[in-house]
Structure formats: C-alpha cells, structure tokens
Amino acid sequence: MYGHENFVLDLSNTNKAMLYKDGRLVFMGDGYRAITMLITNSQDPGPVREKFNAQLTLREKPKFQKDNDIDTLRKEAWEAERLRLEEQNKGKKRR
C-alpha cells in the first residue's frame, strides 16, 4: 500500500492494482496504468515518480532521435529480408 495526498495505491495483489481516492475505488487493473493515473491526478507527482521510477522506466517506449528513424529501420529490415529470400531462391534453382 502506498499513500500519497488523498490517494492510496494497493499493489499487493499481483493480478490487479487498486487505486483509491478519498477511500473510494477509482481504478482496478494494470499496475503500470494505476501508477500513471496516480501521477496524472496528483498535485505533486514528484514523490510518486521517485517511488515507482523502476516500474516507469521499465515500460518506457523506445525513443528515436529523428522522426524518420523508425522508417529507416523498417526499410533496412525489409531490404535484408528481400536479400535473404533472393539467396534462398538461388539455392533452390541450383539443385
């Protein structure tokens, strides 16, 4: 159980987290989602971020330096797959 402002976050159940506000259940489900809801709705989210830093950074999405980096990676992967298939087909024709 973790209390912050008028919220209580119960992570004792491994299947479902429960977030209470003023003693009333406001969310029951994924623990990461409950933590982010607590951060979003807190007046001072700093202590919550500190407490759950490990969980938050574990689920952080990958960051790319340029907007087109993901497209470049996709093109490279597609090209590598195309070359692999060409090599595979050449081997079948030789047999």
Contacts of 11 (CB under 8 A, 6+ apart): 1, 2, 17, 31, 34
CB atoms within 10 A of CB 92: 7
Q: What is the pTM of this model?
A: 0.60
User: pLDDT tens, position by position, for the chain (95 residues)?
Assistant: 999 999 999 999 888 999 999 999 999 999 999 999 999 999 999 999 999 999 888 876 666 565 567 777 788 889 999 998 988 888 766 65
Q: Spell out the domain ranges in the chain.
A: 2-58, 63-95
**Contact call for residues 48 and 35 (beta carbons, < 8 A):** yes
